[in-house]
Chains A and B, each alone.
Chain A
């Protein structure tokens, strides 16, 4: 039997340990892939597939990429969901006996990419680890390009935990998830996660989740003996997931990740919970349709100057606060900056010099940073003293506090200033990066080079004098080094000690022993100084590595100020105002606007609207009005204003009092999840279920057309019952905006506590309707569906026909009355089962819809009118008699 070549044996051995990865096997200047890896990679990367002798009968399929351009290929494969194991030569080939030793030095997965080109600088790239069993859930996630690590945990039954997990993942949007076995075996759930978040999910060794092992792993990483200081010593689920996460990083990265030096543990209740639908519906970080940032709330609010600031701002948007003090801290800072544009501009000017310090730091940790990175770091931290001064001199307590905490990092700054030259090359091994004054030895070496070159020019002058050859010159080329050149006409004057090296058409080139000696001295010292520079550079890098924690702290402060500046700038430019935050659940907005819609409207002017919701008489607003009139915009506007207030941003309104909201739920029509094989109605109802099961009295509910996905009476009944349930203080009592086309629901005002009717004004003008976009008290009587259909361009025959049908349907209204009454009793019965006391009180005046004989008369009267023949005075009189009829009823 044929035997594999030794090299292929080595390959197979390593591949055996990394079966789930594509193995990049370093051979000289190439990474090669073999066998199945080669087949896959050549196809995915569109590179040529060749073959190589491997000792077996058939050649091994092979493809390869040059190592210096590997980043690109690696990112491409990782993006496509592959894991890549990088196998390097770990021995100097020149000293190796037999086959050079090779080993995997790093495994790259979607969650552990560090190639800056492949990553969006304005968002984090999270790797997430989830531990879940029958009692609890631990979630930990890390961005290894910045060193941030977060963890949280939850307890409860499995369904609740799954819900929590989905909500958290919606916030984190990780690029890779590793889970424990128990969770992984819930195949349906895992599959739904995969499709919902479009993410790679793998299980990880069970033993690393063991609490003891995990705890030790964390302690080792943090270099501590107890976890007390990190607030997770009692959070067993957090410990499991964090420990496993760190172990996974250890296994894949294979270096000490010094920048992972802190664990941010938070409780889920600390932040406003936004489920995945709400995040999508409110278009917080991306738009619903195009999934693009442009048009989202983030797009509007992000005027940050640094990538770090942009990432933090995104995080703020994803995690609105619930702590009134913290919110006010941010609001006060924003207020100060809005009022003092001067300061704001000054800070923004400073930040022009700031690079992505967080990611610079990770390059320092990975040892992949060059001298230019250090210059960038120097420029970045160079702004600290000035920033500190600006902040301390403000009148804002909160900004002053931040300013006082700034560590100016003087030693690091001075070290770089002293050591690294201003515009260093990209390479770090070819010299030209360290200032010669930094090191005595380096200075001597450099001076030797300079002196050597001076000596050469002197030599030219001396030799000219000595030989009398005026055209003699000293030159240099790469092959011969330094030489003396004499033109052919002067050859007879060449002295004896010249050794001829090369003959050219017009001249001869010579060397002398002393010239060669000087040459080796010059070249030698150049080489030495290159080596020395590299050594010094590594020393400097290592010194800075020790200060990483301090640098990270500065990065945090800069990001925070940057994010605050961004909010301030947007608030100022768009005339936002400072909201007053309260804990009493009062949401009182005067002339509120939808910040994004307002921005995208060009000439059309955005009509501001008031909102009043509280815990008493104004808990639930039923909003009626035609399609297209702006119900959805209005409701989203209220949710977004609440959200903006709770991230500490000013809000688009004339004045606003915002009561803290623990969760925002939205049920808006658009997100039909057909891909998961659920019907529109099923999706709608499961969302309603989620909302009713998980909201509290402090939640804000945005419900748009509940019950529209089924038959009219089914839908109406469900909508009705939902309103009853929500408005009932003993059951839910959450603040709710409820948009509907079931005008029957407007009957509920006055019958149910806390329910108020609102409608969006429109004006009819002949066949046209004019949208006034103004919210007003009271219910609407008509949905103007046909008019809207006409505006949308539905062909005229269809429009005309639907008008006919509508008319005939309306004529049958009276007949329907009976049916309605029957339904009435059903509802009454149900209500009684629900809550007997409540019903008794309002038994007598229960009525489903307003039907009136008068109505037909009035309509007939209107129909018979000829407007062209009517004088204004007559019109007024007719109107008067009509209103009288209606009122007298």
Chain B
């Protein structure tokens, strides 16, 4: 069994596009687990503490390392997986650059315990900064365990760049998701701070594997999809159009078992969904693609995340068609199901779901209309009562028979309000931003047409963009003044999250709270939503919350302020839609409110709210003037 590990020749070393292996704890986990996979393990335990910064343990039951090979394992470019450069073109194993152990041990305190099947005695090795300190015999089960402690203890600068425990463990969770998804035949156990987060069955059943990682809601939303051609085979799952996410985080592609990211495949999938789901929404997809190994080049990126393949267009077309078919044959298609007999049940559920979504969408329209009115009303109310809120109950202000008993306080308060209002008005009149206009009509139930009172220009206003801007600024103002009105939900909503999402939520808890979300933790990886900011009217609370989470995830590096803006922008998508009919009175209110905003010219996402066409331009178009 000796001589599994060899030094590569220089030529080979140069051919390998190596980069830094250890970027953060997550990359260590990735390398170690890939080693375990390559060692033919069928059970891998990943344990981390403090986001992996203090402690990472990966234990497997694989073939183990021979005593003679241990020294070699810590040399750079030593690997048991390839011999020569030519081997690179038919790489089947995951790690092959021979860098992992060397790089990791260089920046951490490492301990390795390993035993092969044909030895009674295992070996334990301590490695510090890449050098083997102490090797001794030890009783241990077959396989290899590597413990990595105190990452970057000898490179304080890099240590500083590590994120919070939660952020790092969320990176690790991501890696574990990907690895456990790509190896349904291996049982993964993921323990974080002494809690078992994931345990996959390892029985080569794709769906129960997904279930064990992402849970029930997620799995229930999937359609099964398959393709089998000459040398291309695809199996996997895509989500029902009703279950989409705000980013591409839940699109997982595995080419010959290796996780890759590929924009073109994503694109192909999204095209297949194009009319079925709203813009900026992304379907879930977990696809296992098998190609002949010689058509794939996995070595173009040091993190081995991207790959190049021949016949890329063919593949894209296949995927597009495969998914299109699944979605087209929606009702004929077999549900993704975990259990044969539950078919009927699932189908029933499905129908109910469809009905529900239909109803929901109708309701939504109604609600949207109402929101416009509601939100105006509440603002009025707010203005009136804001000042007095703390002192007296808000009710009965306008009931006649109680006015008699109005205390002096109230009178005072009302005076204040008046003052406030006059201040406000004065301010307005000074900084008039919008031109003086008169609405003359509506176009496509989307654009308001207006004529400048100075008779010099013609204006078009996008009602949706305008309302977005209004809501956005209102929310921002409330947020700054810390008096967001909270709408309590009649029936609180429980939302189950993945571990990563949960971490994200925890990191941003204060943010949500400040925005007027009333949220509490509710068991392992789930939260309960008790209230939402009033400004949203009655939005689809669950969807809104998930959207915000997804958006937060996209740019984890951005600072607090930017994130806040992002959330607020999302919240505005609940504004009046293009195509909603508006009454004159509403239009006037809209314009009035728009007038009060700081930046009435664009919507929060940057699109224009109002377009001006001067009389001159118009006349030019009609060739009245040359």
Contacts and interface: CB of A to CB of B under 8 A. Distances in A.
Interface in A260-280: none
B141 A342 contact: no
B141 A575 contact: no
A470 B138 CA distance: 94
Nearest to B143: A605
A389 B339 CA distance: 13
A606 B339 CA distance: 35
Contacts of A867: none
A393 B342 contact: yes
Nearest to A346: B216
Nearest to A772: B139
A770 interface: yes
A339 B201 contact: yes
Contacts of B43: 575
A393 B345 contact: yes
A606 B141 contact: yes
B341 A393 contact: yes
A763 B283 CA distance: 58
A342 B139 contact: no
Among A573, A591, A603, the one with the most B-chain Cβ atoms within 10 Å of its Cβ is A603
B199 A394 contact: no
Contacts of B199: 572-573
A343 interface: yes
A605 B141 contact: yes
A770 B341 contact: no
Given A339-B203, A605-B59, A345 B338 contact: no
A395 B339 contact: yes
A627 interface: no
A171 interface: no
B211 interface: yes
B120 A471 contact: no
Interface in A214-242: none
Interface string A316-354: 000000000000000000000001111101100000000
A774 B139 contact: yes
Interface string A115-127: 0000000000000
A788 to B, nearest CB: 15
A770 B136 contact: yes
Given A605-B113, A607-B139, A772-B139, A395 B340 contact: yes
Greatest chain B CB density within 10 A among A346, A765, A774 is at A774
B338 A761 contact: no
A343 B345 CA distance: 13
Contacts of B339: 340, 342-343, 393-395
Nearest to A760: B139
Interface residues of B, number: 33
Contacts of B201: 339, 341, 572
Interface string A466-480: 000011000000000
Nearest to B342: A393
A763 B345 contact: no
A603 B137 contact: no
B141 A763 contact: no
Contact of B139 (A393, A395, A773): A773
A81 interface: no
Interface string A392-405: 01110000000000
Contact of A763 (B57, B121, B208, B338): B121
Interface in A546-578: 572-573, 575
Given A471-B404, A761-B120, A341 B341 contact: no
A342 B208 contact: yes
B91 interface: no
A772 B121 contact: yes
B211 A342 contact: yes
A395 B141 CA distance: 36
Given A763-B137, A765-B137, A772-B137, A603 B147 contact: yes
Contacts of B136: 765, 770
A346 B401 CA distance: 56
Interface string B372-415: 00000000000000000000000000000100100000000000
B338 A340 contact: yes
A393 B339 CA distance: 9
Contact of B140 (A341, A607, A776): A607
A418 to B, nearest CB: 23
Contacts of A606: 141
Given A393-B342, A605-B113, A341 B139 contact: no
A765 B212 CA distance: 46
Contact of A770 (B137, B141, B342): B137
A341 B120 contact: no
| Main SS at interface, chain A | mixed
B160 to A, nearest CB: 28
Interface in B323-373: 338-342, 345
Contacts of A575: 43, 187
In this complex, which of B121, B342, B401 has the most chain A Cβ atoms within 10 angstroms of its Cβ? Answer: B342
A572 B147 CA distance: 25
Contacts of B187: 575
B145 interface: yes
A394 B342 CA distance: 8
Contact of B404 (A343, A470, A572, A770): A470
A608 interface: yes
Given A393-B345, A607-B140, A608-B141, A341 B59 contact: no
Given A603-B57, A772-B120, A342 B137 contact: no
A607 B59 CA distance: 13
B208 A340 contact: yes
A774 B211 CA distance: 37
A765 B135 CA distance: 13
Nearest to B202: A575
A771 interface: yes
Contacts of B141: 591, 605-608
Contacts of B211: 341-342
B196 interface: yes
B113 A573 contact: no
B181 to A, nearest CB: 16
Nearest to B337: A342
A346 B136 CA distance: 48
Q: Which of B43, B140, B211 has the most CB of A within 10 A?
A: B140
A733 B141 CA distance: 33
A147 to B, nearest CB: 33
Contacts of A773: 139
Contacts of A342: 208, 211, 216, 219, 338-339
Interface string A274-306: 000000000000000000000000000000000
Interface string A604-633: 011110000000000000000000000000
Nearest to B138: A770
A393 B199 CA distance: 25
Residue of A343, A389, A573, A575 ringed by the most chain B CB atoms within 10 A = A575
Given A470-B404, A605-B59, A771 B139 contact: yes
B216 A345 contact: yes
B62 to A, nearest CB: 14
Interface in B555-589: none
Contacts of A607: 139-141
B6 to A, nearest CB: 23
A572 B201 CA distance: 8
B494 to A, nearest CB: 12
Contacts of B196: 573
Nearest to A345: B216
Given A394-B341, A575-B187, A771-B139, 15 more contacts: A339-B201, A340-B338, A341-B201, A342-B338, A346-B216, A470-B404, A573-B196, A573-B199, A605-B145, A761-B121, A770-B121, A770-B136, A772-B120, A772-B121, A773-B139
Closest 10 CB pairs of A and B: A772-B139, A773-B139, A342-B338, A393-B341, A605-B140, A770-B137, A607-B139, A774-B120, A763-B137, A607-B141
10 contacts: A342-B211, A393-B339, A393-B345, A591-B141, A605-B59, A605-B145, A763-B121, A772-B122, A772-B138, A774-B120
